[in-house]
Chains A and B, each alone.
Chain A
Amino acid sequence: MIAFDEMHGLAEAMKAAPGGAETVRAAYAGLKQWLDQSPDALLETRRQQAELLFRRIGITFAVYGDAEAEERLIPFDIIPRVLTRPEWTQLEKGLEQRVRALNMFLTDVYGARECIRAGVIPEDLVLCNPQFRLEMAGMTPPHGVHVHIAGVDLVRVDDDGFYVLEDNCRTPSGVSYMLENREVMMRLFPDLFAQHRVAPVETYTDSLLATLRSVAPPHCQADPVVVVLTPGLHNSAFYEHSFLADKLGVELVEGSDLFVQDLVVFMRTTEGPRRIDVIYRRIDDDFIDPLVFRPDSILGVPGLMSAYQAGNVTLCNAPGAGVADDKAVYSYMPEIVKFFTGEEALLKNVPSFRCREPEALSYVLDHLDELVVKEVNGSGGYGMLVGPRAPKAEVELFRSKLTADPANFIAQPTLALSTCPTFVNNGVAPRHVDLRPFVLTGSDAVRITPGGLTRVALKDGSLVVNSSQGGGTKDTWVLDA
């Protein structure tokens, strides 16, 4: 399989062939020149400086089940990934359309359910979905927005072929890396920024604050009080939670800091209780309210859902939004976009085999060694089989899992994820990347920060970019001409 290299185009794959000329795509012209002038030793020095900066700022993440490495750094690659403004403009339109459709879909499945009646999506797939929250049925969140913050994972296969790999509608993370990567890059390579017109990303937190404030309950008179709700210090994304609260200038609260009285949410402060209007929660649905969801949760706030249902507080994202990013629902996205927006989807879906359908299942079982098989509710790169690269035993394990519970899986052809030049142990080499732009939806506007988080699979040939499995990140540039 020939991967598209974002610096060289398809030529990277041809370079090995005799006479294969080295071409450079226009977006990377300046970067290529810089790379040619920078000896590996310099890059290595800069890489170490970057690591030191990250460690000193304290940007670490926890890997579950890895007690030794409670505080690891996400590896950072110092070579930026570059998109041109026209490329980005196309993506932006597609993202906005897709997130608009996701919000309309959620309003519909928790409301009139017209898409089910119209046969766009099977009823059981929605109503029996573990992410479907009956508590939300018949309820419209303030200003009708369910997914305030979406992280849409994109992969690229050629010059203009971007595919959505998955929609993250619950509590997508990674945006702090997008912001800190840029900070570190600007400190390390001021000259490089002087030579390029890179669209800034630091506007993200202002956009986020504007978004969160715009969805405060309508009766909220004065300045809405916004907080970020975290599961606490030991959560793998805690750094990000505290980073965002800091940049937003709002309190970072834990469940125990909040309480509900007469259907109103308060936080405990040194000056007594203070009323809260908007909660950007980074806790999963299951844990936000022990009275409604998991009773053993100590992370949440008893009574929070009642306050929410009474319209006294806004939860971002809305509970139950996860039904829209389910991998089985994903496969219906082209139809969903069409049904709700009346337009063809601008962003392509990776063609998916729904194993719940018998013909699809038998095809998948016959072609396991060619396909990527995913659990519909898995995330973080877990519960996933990459057929062409998996050892035989793993393939057989998935075969038995599939036969036992086919509805729990979808399968997709193995995509040739694009590659970007990456500084690895033996110099600069192409590595596979994906892209997670963050899409903010408020009552007033949809806001998208140019770029997003580029994740890179640092192991040669690997397609798994998740930080929990050895992936790294890159700064992502949108170049104004």
Chain B
Amino acid sequence: MLSRTADNLFWAARYMERADYLSRLLETALRSTALPASYGGVSTEWESAVASAGSAEAFYARYGDANEETVCDWLAFNGENPSSIRSCIGRARTNAKAVRTALTAETWEAVNDAGLQLAQFGEAPLSREDITRFLDWVKGVALAFDGSARRTMLRNDAFWFVRLGGAVERADNTARILDVKYHILLPEHEHVGGTLDYFQWTTMLREVSANTAYRWVYRTSVKPWLVADLLMLNRQMPRSLASCYEVIVRHTDLLAEAYGRRGPSQRQARAVLARLHSARIEDVFQSGLHEFITSFLIDNSKLGAAIAEQYLI
């Protein structure tokens, strides 16, 4: 397969995953603002949404203040933000268009339809209802893309690069939420155990659509260390760092097998997964949650670079 083809597939999947993530981030923030102040409604949700999306500097330079209107505009609709939902879907479509021949008709149509429909969502300020509908639509788009890829694509390198792109991006997204919010999970923050904390923890779960999953996995009330465990180490939870790395290891291995050669991508992926598997959440808290997440983010971007170096250029 052409390196450029692999690159486009990898990034089309990354952008789709990012669009999905942003829509969940915004949805959660919107929900928080709808809560009365004593339940966490005055929270800094808009600031942290911008921070979790990783574009704070450009955002504040442009708007100055983070509130519902500015953050929705920046993260959802603004074409000048290279990582807004609009930009992500647009870029995913450009990537997919460049490699149409490597996609099935269904997968291409999922991306292409999304790109065409995107134009219908105006740039003008939308009502909260409109925004909710838009965010639902984005989640549907991501599902259609992912679902059609899994249902229709041949199980070969094209599919594996799509899966890799999705998993690398997803790991990055989950880690970013943790990076921005790790402090609310720390014990010193927990002393009150009041409703404020409770809503902040569940907000975090919602951002990775894990509110229900949490109950099923732990069958107990929301505890901060268990939230961290679910998002980082739990292998059942599809957005956890460990799950993402299982996907990454599986698909880098499939590539190595098909191409008959292992390289830095395989080594890096395995090393990270081994660390996630051997870690216990107690130890992570002991040795520093923030340090763990920071070093994970660095490792994950190293993996991205290794994949690029080995396959994409």
Contacts and interface: CB of A to CB of B under 8 A. Distances in A.
A315 interface: no
Interface of A: 55-58, 232-233, 242, 245-246, 251-254, 256-257, 267-271
B6 A270 contact: yes
Nearest to B111: A58
In the A-B complex, the 7 residue pairs with the smallest Cβ-Cβ separation, listed nearest first, are A246-B101, A270-B311, A268-B3, A242-B100, A271-B259, A270-B6, A270-B1
Interface in B230-288: 255, 259, 261
Nearest to A267: B2
Given A270-B255, A270-B259, A271-B259, A58 B97 contact: yes
B100 A251 contact: no
A56 B259 contact: no
Interface of A is mostly: mixed
A256 B4 contact: yes
Contact of B2 (A232, A233, A251): A251
B157 interface: yes
A253 B2 contact: yes
Contacts of B259: 270-271
Given A58-B108, A233-B94, A270-B157, A246 B100 contact: yes
B113 interface: yes
B4 A257 contact: yes
Contacts of A252: 99, 101
A67 to B, nearest CB: 15
22 contacts: A55-B116, A56-B109, A56-B113, A57-B109, A58-B108, A58-B112, A232-B98, A233-B94, A233-B98, A246-B100, A246-B101, A254-B4, A257-B2, A257-B3, A257-B4, A267-B2, A268-B3, A269-B2, A269-B3, A270-B3, A270-B6, A271-B261
Interface in B175-194: none
Contacts of B312: 270
Contact of A233 (B6, B97, B108, B113): B97
A160 to B, nearest CB: 42
Interface residues of B, number: 25
Given A268-B2, A269-B2, A270-B1, A245 B101 contact: yes
A233 B3 CA distance: 16
Q: Which of B4, B6, B259 has the most CB of A within 10 A?
A: B4
B160 to A, nearest CB: 10
Given A56-B112, A253-B2, A267-B2, 17 more contacts: A56-B109, A57-B105, A57-B109, A58-B97, A242-B100, A251-B5, A252-B101, A253-B4, A256-B4, A257-B2, A257-B4, A268-B4, A269-B1, A270-B6, A270-B157, A270-B255, A271-B259
Nearest to A250: B101
A257 B3 CA distance: 8
Nearest to B103: A246
Interface of B: 1-6, 94, 97-101, 105, 108-109, 112-113, 116, 157, 255, 259, 261, 311-313
Contacts of B3: 257, 268-270
Contacts of A271: 1, 259, 261
A252 B5 CA distance: 9
Contacts of A269: 1-3
A270 B311 CA distance: 5
A58 B157 contact: no
A256 B109 CA distance: 27
Nearest to A232: B98
B154 to A, nearest CB: 12
Contacts of B97: 58, 233
A68 B5 CA distance: 28
A274 B4 CA distance: 14
Nearest to B311: A270
Nearest to B93: A58
Contacts of A55: 116
A180 to B, nearest CB: 12
Among A58, A245, A256, residue most surrounded by chain B Cβ atoms (within 10 Å): A58
B162 to A, nearest CB: 13
Given A56-B113, A233-B94, A242 B101 contact: yes
B2 A58 contact: no
Question: Which of B1, B2, B261: most chain A CB closer than 10 A?
Answer: B2
A246 B105 CA distance: 11
Nearest to A256: B4
Contacts of A232: 98
Contacts of B98: 232-233
A231 to B, nearest CB: 12
Nearest to B96: A58
Nearest to A55: B116
A271 B100 CA distance: 20
Contacts of B105: 57
B251 to A, nearest CB: 13
Contacts of B2: 251, 253, 257, 267-270
A56 B112 CA distance: 7
Nearest to A238: B97
A233 B1 CA distance: 18
A10 B285 CA distance: 90
Give the interface centre of B94, B98, B100 by most chain A CB atoms within 10 Å. Answer: B100
A232 B313 CA distance: 17
Contacts of A268: 2-4, 313
